[in-house]
Amino acid sequence: MAFTSINKVIPKIGASELARGIRLFCDDIWLRIDDCLVLKVKRSDRPHARVVSVDYSDALQLPGVVGVLTYRDVPGELLYGLITKDQPLLAREKVRFLGEAIALVVADDEETAENALELIHVEYEDLPAVFDPEEALKGGAPILHEGGNLLHRRTVRRGEVDRTLSKSHIVIRRNYTTSHLEHSYLEPDAGVGYIDDQGHYVIYASTQNPHYDQAEVARILGVEKDKIRIIQAATGGGFGSKLDLNVQGYIALALYRFGRPARLTYSRDEALLATPKRHPLKMELETGADSTGRLTALRARIICDTGAYASYGMAVATRAAVHVTGPYQIDHVDIESLAVYTNNPVAGAMRGFGAPQVAVAYESQMDLIAEELGIDPLEIRKINAFKRGSVTATGQVLDYSVGILSTLEAVETYFREARDKWESDGGSDLQRGIGLASMWYGIGNTASKNPAHARIELKANGQIILYTGAADIGQGSTTVLTQIAAEALGLDPSDIKTIYADTAVTANAGATSASRQTYISGNAVKDAAQKLAKALIVKASTMLGCKPEELFLKGGFVTCGKEGEKLSIRDIAKRFYGEGSTMIFEGYFDPETTMLDPDTGQGIPYATYAFATHLALVEVDRGTGEVFVRKIVAAHDVGRAIHPQNVEGQIQGGVAMGVGFALMEEYLPGQTKSMADYHIPTSLDVPEVIPIIIEDEEPTGPYGAKGVGEPSLIPTAPAILNAIADALGKRVYGLPAKPEKIRKTLKEGS
């Protein structure tokens, strides 16, 4: 199919404005600078304690301090949360993690606000703490919440696991662990707000979900939602952390109490201390296979440390349970996934929602089975990979867009060549290895309503404006959505003005998360644009005297195919508005999913899935334990690449993050206090990346598109771990695979 505006590379919308400083980040926005209050948060210095008293009288005596606010000053609901409302904006009776917010300083300037923090005296009564989720589930463990320490339990059961495992040719049993991770976005959390002339609370925020922020701020203040306006400022990355409420509630509270503009920017150290982390997972897998390598059964137990509050813990536990089979047909499964409260930092969404962690486990199992049976690692994946008609562990039949075999075939030439040349060419000090890993990823929220709205307007002067609530955090959703609208209207994307992520003028598009915006908001945009296109065709049919089926839109004109007559969109707009009509059309899309059965987990959690395979070439220094990732070949089934260069950029960025996940990133609660303590990949650590785009069209997607944002990360770490095992003949079972862990593995064996 020939496209005019999609499947093409165009300049990224907004890039020029960002580069020239026209679109501002929150900390660069100054509102009535002489009158703008500065906010700072007093945070707990212990992980679990009863708050006996908060004395801020000394702080109030400091010149320039306007006020100090505690939970008593919250006029509406104190508790907030993405799924479960369990986290207080400011601690009421207890603190449950190191860094929990206790009081809010409101001052005239930054220095005064900082000094005031030191003058707030908190009296604590220390309580027993628990930092291991398995310990938190035992009798006698400190209870963090009224309902107990188990936040959520998700089970997926199908077939007869015990009997099938007992009859399997081989059974591989292993335990795997991953660590807390920091998102490490370039821009720390920030926001600035004011009250406008109509009494609306206007907050510019670094956010991934402005409409969620709007609803939560309204609850906190106890006001109607339309009194709150959230505008997404330029956002320097998020990766999931900026889905949670960060500064918005504090800014709103200061506006409510003092009526003056207010701003809050976290320091980097504060962002490290107080913002959500990736869930650490403990995973026990028992995988059976027959003598040909076909998987027979899987028993899995997953424990997710969700930290002190729920955040996205329920979603992570559920997605982990659904995805732990990998992109493979396994007819007999018994999976249990638990999200557990501890006194560790809150764990929330981070690029993949549990899928990257379980991929480490199931892809390691695939290589172990292949090794045990003497089967090629690529072949064993081909034997078991989903295809059209396959049935997942939740009982879903995969009818369309199942590109996993295509991704395996795309890396095969590189894999065979590496087998012939790579391992034999290494130097004496470096052991070379190659590793494969595949993945699948459900697009959108899991087994729940997941809608997006969009609106498109044709002005009287012929200008077309697209309104979408989708937050663009650098991934390029604004560009992609504009391309989709342009394709439906036969226009160049430059002919459309796009306004996004402003709750006053854009409808709710849902969160920028779960790789959902291209697929879900893309469909909503396409729906709105097609309605406009139909209206233009109908009106032009009357004006030109042509049948609607003879007309087509191209280049800003409606043309009659038979006669060649045409009308400009501007002329048609003039006719509409001259007749007293407006040209505003709403678009909507919600993927078809079903709830999962609470006992068996059977259902349709996602309408479509992305698939990928990565090949990693590594060198390992046996003496130091250092691992050097030299090349990643990354094949991704994205359905349709709306903007191919953007897809490649997402793959490259995901690989870079995957290298960090595999080899170096580890957030240690209470110990990681600055970026000096937390290691992320530099440009020297990022390997050569060869992105391969596979387009197995998704019929329910906008022009066949699915998504790639999170899938781009998922296979990298397991591919690297498999390559390390190939190089050394010994396997690492816990991330990150730091040099000391490599040396220990070599010394003790695996």
> Is 425 a residue whose pLDDT tops 80?
no
Q: What is the CB-side half-sphere exposure of residue 747 using CA atoms within 13 A? A: 9
Average pLDDT over residues 289-308: 98
As a whole number, the mean pLDDT across the chain is 96
Contacts of 596 (CB under 8 A, 6+ apart): 154, 156, 318, 322, 394, 446, 447, 602, 603, 605
- Give the burial class of 745: count Cβ atoms within 10 A of its Cβ; 0-12 exposed, 13-18 middle, 19 or more buried: buried
699: preceding bond cis by omega (within 30 degrees): no
Contacts of 634 (CB under 8 A, 6+ apart): 612, 613, 614, 615, 651, 654, 655, 689, 690, 691, 692, 712, 715, 716
Band (750; pLDDT cuts 50, 70, 90): low
Average pLDDT over residues 667-689: 96
Structure confidence at residue 4 (pLDDT): 94
Structure confidence at residue 429 (pLDDT): 77
> Is 129 a residue whose pLDDT tops 90?
yes
CA pair distance 676, 654, nearest whole angstrom:
23
> Is 207 a residue whose pLDDT tops 90?
yes
CA pair distance 503, 68, nearest whole angstrom:
29
Band (504; pLDDT cuts 50, 70, 90): very high
What percentage of the chain carries pLDDT values higher than 70? 98
What is the CA 345 to chain-centroid distance, rounded?
Answer: 18
Q: Return the higher-pLDDT residue of 426 and 700.
A: 700
Given a contact cutoff of 8 angstroms between Cβ atoms, the answer to whether 588 and 451 are in contact is yes
Put the strands of the sheet holding 566-568 in their side by side order: 551-554, 557-560, 566-568
- What's the full length of the chain, in residues? 750
Average pLDDT over residues 670-686: 96
Listed residue (572, 577, 582) closest to 544, CA to CA? 572
The amino acid at 372: E
Average pLDDT over residues 590-612: 98
Q: Which residues pair with 123 in a beta bridge?
A: 53
Structure confidence at residue 749 (pLDDT): 67
Structure confidence at residue 423 (pLDDT): 67
Angle of the 377-384 helix axis to the 404-417 helix axis, nearest 10:
170
Q: In 550-677, at which residue ranges do the beta strands (DSSP E only) sit? A: 551-554, 557-560, 566-568, 584-589, 609-621, 627-637
Domains and CATH numbers, the chain: 29-127+189-265 (3.90.1170.50), 281-446+596-748 (3.30.365.10), 451-589 (3.30.365.10)
Structure confidence at residue 564 (pLDDT): 83
3-state secondary structure labels for all residues of 21-69: CCCCEHHHCCCCHHHCEEEEEEECCCCCEEEEEEECHHHHCCCCEEEEE
Q: What is the CB-side half-sphere exposure of residue 288 using CA atoms within 13 A? A: 20
Band (34; pLDDT cuts 50, 70, 90): low
> Is 247 a residue whose pLDDT tops 70?
yes
CA pair distance 66, 105, nearest whole angstrom:
8
246-260, 523-537, 553-567: least confident range = 553-567
- Tokens for 67? 């006020």
Structure confidence at residue 748 (pLDDT): 86
Listed residue (75, 79, 303, 276) closest to 175, CA to CA? 303
Give how far Cα 389 sits from Cα of 264, 392, 640, 694, Å.
52, 10, 21, 19
Structure confidence at residue 61 (pLDDT): 98
End-to-end CA distance of the chain: 52
Contacts of 45 (CB under 8 A, 6+ apart): 98
Structure confidence at residue 428 (pLDDT): 59
Structure confidence at residue 324 (pLDDT): 98
Instruction: Give, as one character, the DSSP assignment of residue 283.
Output: E
3-state secondary structure of 462: coil
What percentage of the chain carries pLDDT values higher than 90? 96
Band (426; pLDDT cuts 50, 70, 90): low
Band (392; pLDDT cuts 50, 70, 90): very high
| Cα 184-611-325 angle, rounded to 5 deg | 90
Structure confidence at residue 32 (pLDDT): 60
Band (562; pLDDT cuts 50, 70, 90): low
CA pair distance 691, 645, nearest whole angstrom:
10
pTM (two decimals): 0.97
Convert the pLDDT of each residue in 63-78 to its tens digit. Answer: 999 999 999 999 999 9
Structure confidence at residue 33 (pLDDT): 57
Instruction: Give, as one character, the DSSP assignment of residue 411.
Output: H
CA pair distance 103, 107, nearest whole angstrom:
13
